[in-house]
Amino acid sequence: MLRPFKHIHSKFYKINSFVNHLFLDVVFRANKITDNEFNSNLLLLKYRGFVNDINDEYVFNPINECYKICKSLSSQNLKILKRGVHYNGKVRELCNGKITPLQYTDINKINPELSKHLKTFFNYLYDEVIGAAPVYNSYEKIEEFYNKLVGKSLTCRCCGTSKILNKFHSKRSALDHYLPRKHYPFLSINCNNLIPICETCNSKYKLGQDTLYEEIKRGKRVIGRNRKKAFYPFGRTTIPIKVKVTFKVTYSENILPDNIDIDFESIGYEEQLETWERLFGIKENYKADICSEDTHMYYEEQLIANSNHGIDMTQYINLLKTTNSFYDKKFLRIGMLEGINDFSTP
C-alpha cells in the first residue's frame, strides 16, 4: 500500500459484533444449548431482527445448518472454530504474520458441510444482508462508510496510478475484501478488511488471490504454499516505498517494458513489498505507465517547462521530492526521471 487509510468514525464498524455474538455465544456453543434448532431467541434482543426480518435463505437457513452440525462437534473442534473467530478478526496481526488465520480449508477438515454453510452465510451477509433495512437502519449504509473512508481522494491507495470514485460521485468503486472472503470466514463485513481500490487492482490483478499465502507451483500444479506478511491497509503513518527505475536503453517514446527494470525499497518491509507485487502486479502496471504515450508527453512538456524556467532535471526532481509524492504519480515520476538521469550519466 502506498498510503494507508485512516480509521474513520462510522457505525458500520460495529456491525461485525453481530458476527462475533452469533458465532461465539450461540453457534459454536450449540453443544451447551438445549434448543435442537437455531432460533432468534438465542440472540441478544438487538440482533433478532437480523434473523426475523430478513429472508430465511440469507441468515436463518445457513445458520440453522451450522448450528445443527456444531451440536455434535467435539469440544476441541469448537475451540478451534472459536479461536478462528478471534484470530480472523485481528487483521493487523494477521498481516504482520503474528498469528495464524482459520481458513475454509481448515474447516473442511473439521466438517465440509459446515464449511459450505458458513461460506453461504458470509457471502449473503455481504451481498444481501447489509443492504437490508433492519441492518442499515441500525448501523449505516455501506455507501456512507465508503464515502467517509475515501473522502475527496481520487487516487487508488494501492497502486497510486489509477482512479477511484470519491464521495462526490453517485456511484462507488469496489470495496475489496483485503483477506478474500473466498478463503477467510468471519471477515466478510469486518471494516478492517474492506478497502476501496481501483478496478485494475481489484478486478484485473488481485481477484481471489490469497493475501497471506503464496502458492508454490511446479508447472501449473500447486505443490505447497508459504505464509507471507502483507501491508496492513490502515494506519496513521505512511510506510515510505521508493520506486527505483533502471533503464537498459535510452528513454524515448518507443521504450518497451522489457527495456526497464523496476525495484522497490522499503527497509524492514521487504516481505510486504513482495506480497504487494504478487497481489497487484505493480511492476507490470508501472512499466506500462512509463511506456505510455501519456508519460512521454508529460516528459516532453516537463523538459520544455524546465528550460523555460531555467532549471535542469535534477533540480526538477528535487522540487518533486519536496511535495506530496502520492499525488499525481510523483513517486513514479521521481523514480523514472532518476532512472533517465542515471542512464544518461553512468
CB-wise, 201 or 317, nearer to Zn ion?
Answer: 201
CB-wise, 207 or 303, nearer to Zn ion?
Answer: 207
Distance CA 306, CA 61 (A): 67
User: Stretches 44-52, 161-169, 183-191, 301-309: which one binds Zn ion (CB under 5 A)?
Assistant: 161-169
Distance CA 156, CA 85 (A): 30
Residues 17 to 76 in contact with Zn ion, rule: CB under 5 A: none
User: Stretches 94-102, 198-206, 243-251, 311-319: which one binds Zn ion (CB under 5 A)?
Assistant: 198-206
In 3D space, the residue among 144, 207, 154 whose CA is nearest the CA of residue 176 turns out to be: 207
Give the shortest CB-284-to-Zn ion separation in angstroms.
12
Give the shortest CB-282-to-Zn ion separation in angstroms.
9
Residues 249 to 278 in contact with Zn ion, rule: CB under 5 A: none
Give the shortest CB-3-to-Zn ion separation in angstroms.
11
Give the shortest CB-198-to-Zn ion separation in angstroms.
3
Distance CA 180, CA 176 (A): 8
CB-wise, 119 or 278, nearer to Zn ion?
Answer: 278
- Give the Å distances, CA to CA, from 74 to 6, 81, 82, 85, 246: 41, 11, 12, 17, 58
- Binding Zn ion (rule: CB under 5 A), the pick from 69, 201, 279, 317 is 201
- Binding Zn ion (rule: CB under 5 A), the pick from 54, 156, 165, 282 is 156
Distance CA 77, CA 332 (A): 49
- Binding Zn ion (rule: CB under 5 A), the pick from 59, 73, 150, 158 is 158
Cell of 344: 544518461
Q: Does 159 participate in binding Zn ion (rule CB under 5 A)?
A: yes
Q: Does 129 participate in binding Zn ion (rule CB under 5 A)?
A: no
Q: Does 162 participate in binding Zn ion (rule CB under 5 A)?
A: yes
CB-wise, 185 or 196, nearer to Zn ion?
Answer: 196
Phi, psi of 250 (to 5 degrees): -65, 135
The H-assigned helical ranges of the chain are 16-20, 48-52, 60-71, 75-88, 91-96, 104-110, 112-127, 133-136, 142-150, 199, 270-280, 282-290, 293-309, 313-321, 330-344
# binding residues, Zn ion (CB under 5 A)? 6
Contact 12, 144 (CB under 8 A): yes
User: Stretches 32-40, 150-158, 270-278, 308-316: which one binds Zn ion (CB under 5 A)?
Assistant: 150-158
Give the shortest CB-299-to-Zn ion separation in angstroms.
23
Distance CA 174, CA 33 (A): 40
Distance CA 256, CA 283 (A): 13
Cell of 80: 478451534
Q: Does 198 participate in binding Zn ion (rule CB under 5 A)?
A: yes
Residue ranges binding Zn ion (CB under 5 A): 156, 158-159, 162, 198, 201
